[in-house]
Structure 1
């Protein structure tokens, strides 16, 4: 399993890099002010940061219980990213509608586009993170 320090590094790196890419791109694509989209992205990032930590901890515990190992294959990474984004969609949808003053349907469509971006980003980020900071084999951890 990953350490708390490693999980914090993972989460902060994910959110900071995601914000730097997402806010200007969303402003351009959705035709909203950069500051408005930046604020929405920041609040979303805070929600996502908390969700990211909790979700990854629960996912790893589930993998350890079901498979006896937390190393993720590519298909498991795809499932991991889809489930993460699905949960975030449910948490973030009301915030988008309220902040931008748009209907829930418009917020849903915008959230789907943002989820598609973050789905791809999450997959690539986690794949790169696992290669840069591999999970030690359970025997090396004294398990």
Structure 2
């Protein structure tokens, strides 16, 4: 199971990279100002960091109980990303409509775009994170080959 400092590093790295990509990319793609997209990005970032910390902690508890922290497969990471993003999509709809002063349909479509981006981003980031920062193993236990 990952330690709290490791989870904090994971969360800050994930959100920092994402915030830069969303602010610039969102502004270019939607025509909203960098300030508007940056503000929305910061709100989403704070929301996502809290959810990320809680979700991944719960995920690790589940993984330890039901899978004994076995190697995380591509399929498992795909399920992980979909579950995580489903909650953010729901909350993000209302936040986006309010912040950008747009209708729910436009907010929903924008949120779907963000969710599609984050689905791929979360998968790639977490897979890379697992490779760069492998899960700790009990002493004497060898990590499985990738």
Query: TM-score surpassing 0.5?
Result: yes
After TM superposition, which residue ranges in structure 1, 4 or more long, deviate above 4 angstroms? Answer: none
Report the counterpart of residue 114 of structure 1 in structure 2.
114
Instruction: From the superposition, tell whether residues 65 and 100 of structure 1 become closer, same or farther in structure 2 (CA, over 3 Å).
Output: same
Tell which deviates more after alignment, 71-80 or 132-141. 132-141
Give the length in aligned residue pairs.
Answer: 141
Report the counterpart of residue 49 of structure 2 in structure 1.
49
- The answer to whether the 8 A contact 1:2-1:135 is kept is yes
Query: What RMSD, in angstroms, separates the aligned Cα atoms of the two structures?
Result: 1.4
Instruction: From the superposition, tell whether residues 95 and 122 of structure 1 become closer, same or farther in structure 2 (CA, over 3 Å).
Output: same
Distance in 1 (CA, whole Å) between partners of 2:140 and 2:53 is 24
TM-score for the superposition, normalised by structure 2: 0.92
Distance in 1 (CA, whole Å) between partners of 2:77 and 2:15 is 18
- The answer to whether the 8 A contact 1:97-1:107 is kept is yes
Matched, 1:103 2:110: no
User: Structure 2, unaligned stretches of length 5 or more?
Assistant: 142-146
User: Structure 1, unaligned stretches of length 5 or more?
Assistant: none
Distance in 2 (CA, whole Å) between partners of 1:70 and 1:91 is 32
Instruction: From the superposition, tell whether residues 126 and 140 of structure 1 become closer, same or farther in structure 2 (CA, over 3 Å).
Output: farther
Structure 1 segment 1-143 matched on structure 2, within 5 A: 1-69=1-69, 71-139=71-139
Distance in 1 (CA, whole Å) between partners of 2:119 and 2:93 is 16
Distance in 1 (CA, whole Å) between partners of 2:89 and 2:71 is 26
Distance in 1 (CA, whole Å) between partners of 2:70 and 2:139 is 13
Distance in 2 (CA, whole Å) between partners of 1:51 and 1:90 is 13
- The answer to whether the 8 A contact 1:15-1:49 is kept is yes
